Each structure stands twice: as structure tokens, then as C-alpha cells.
Amino acid sequence: MYSPHGAMPPGWGPNTVVVPAADFEAGRLPGICAVTGAPATANLKRRYASTPQWVGCLFLISWFALIVAYLFTHQASTGRLPVISPIAERVERLRQNGALAFFAGIVGCILAVVSGAVIPGVAGTIAVTILLVAGVAAFIASVVASVMESQTLGIRGRVTKDGFGTRWVQLRGVHPAFAQAVANTRR
């Protein structure tokens, strides 16, 4: 990467790597843990996506323009990120717990609606309240699990497309050893 007088382009840093999306999707990344820098013992399936920031402003014009721009500019890539087994297991466990909590929230809210229709009077009101509180608590637990998953990994990614149509995955927050291993594979 060329940077005059040590200046870094916005969004770049010593812990940022950019790899072709095809390499990311095919799992052709170095066998170094992206989080710890140790030899990788597992691959963690990750999906990174991005949309240009200007697309969000289109909701002021019309929802149709927003949807059309999103469909034409959204870039996504699903691939495997090399990590050590304990990190892969913790991230997977948090993802599963978050999904279960989200599902429990949906079930709780559906049960609240059903109990409100079936149970009359004060008992019905109490049942609806308890089930709605439980459903909201489950939704909050799913958000907390998602945040914990993100913090456990600590790597943010985005997908871009250059002027030649090549898609790239930018990974920010990777370990310096992983960044060096990626740089060595590009030489």
C-alpha cells in the first residue's frame, strides 16, 4: 500500500487488511488467527456487508428510491475467518444463544397476544403483561448476545467494489501477525 509521508487513507490502519472477496469466500486466508495471531485451529463463518452511506439519505426522497439504490449498491460476502478453537466456540455459542433468545422473544409476544384474546379480565391483563415483559427481556438478551459476539471477535468488516468490478473485503481490528501474513501472501 502506498501512503505518502506516512499518511493512511481513511479507514486504514496497521490492523486493517484488504483481501479479494473471492479469496475470503473460498477460505484462502493465511492459517494465522485473525484475533490472537496464533496458528489458526478453526475457521469461523462470517458474513460482511456494506452499502454506501449516501443510500440512507434517499429515504428523504422516497422509499422506492431507497430500495432501488440499496439493491444496486449493496455488497455482501460470506467466508471463513481463521481463528483459534476457543474463540470459534465462544462466538458460535453466543450466536446460538442470541438466536434462541430472539426466537423466545417472538414466542413470548405471540403467547401474550393469544392469552389476551383467550383469558378474560384481570387475569388476562396480568398474563399479557408477564408474557410481554418476558418477550422484551428475551429480545434484549438477543441484542446483548450479539454485542458480546461482536466484542469477542473484535473484527469489523465491510465489502467494497473497485472501479474494475472486483469486490474486496476490508477487515479492521485484526491481529498484526495476521495482517503481516496477509501482506506476505500478496507479495
Cα separations in angstroms, 135 against 108, 120, 129, 145, 163? 4, 21, 10, 15, 46
Q: pLDDT (tens digit, 9 = 90+) per residue, 33-85?
A: 888 888 988 888 888 877 777 777 777 777 787 788 777 777 778 888 899 99
**Residue with grid cell 460482511, as numbered in its chain:** 48
Q: Does the model's pTM come out above 0.75?
A: no
Look up residue 107 and give its amino acid. V
Residue 93, in any domain of the structure = yes
Question: C-alpha cell of 83?
Answer: 481463528
Domain count, the chain: 1
Residue 2, in any domain of the structure = no
Residue 168, in any domain of the structure = yes
DSSP per-residue string spanning 96-113: HHHHHHHHHHHHHHHHHH
Question: C-alpha cell of 33?
Answer: 488467527
Phi, psi of 161 (to 5 degrees): -130, 130
Look up residue 184 and give its amino acid. N
Q: In the prediction, which pLDDT does 5 show?
A: 42
Question: C-alpha cell of 174?
Answer: 485484526
Residue 106, in any domain of the structure = yes
Residue 104, in any domain of the structure = yes
DSSP per-residue string spanning 136-183: HHHHHHHHHHHHHHHHHH--EEEEEE-TTS-EEEEEES--HHHHHHHH
**Residue with grid cell 438477543, as numbered in its chain:** 142
Contacts of 56 (CB under 8 A, 6+ apart): 66
For the segment 90-96, the average pLDDT, to the nearest whole number, is: 89
Residue 3, in any domain of the structure = no
Residue 10, in any domain of the structure = no
Asked whether the beta carbons of 41 and 81 are under 8 A apart, the reply is no
User: Predicted confidence band at 1 (pLDDT cuts at 50, 70, 90)?
Assistant: very low
Residue 11, in any domain of the structure = no
Domain containing residue 71: 16-185
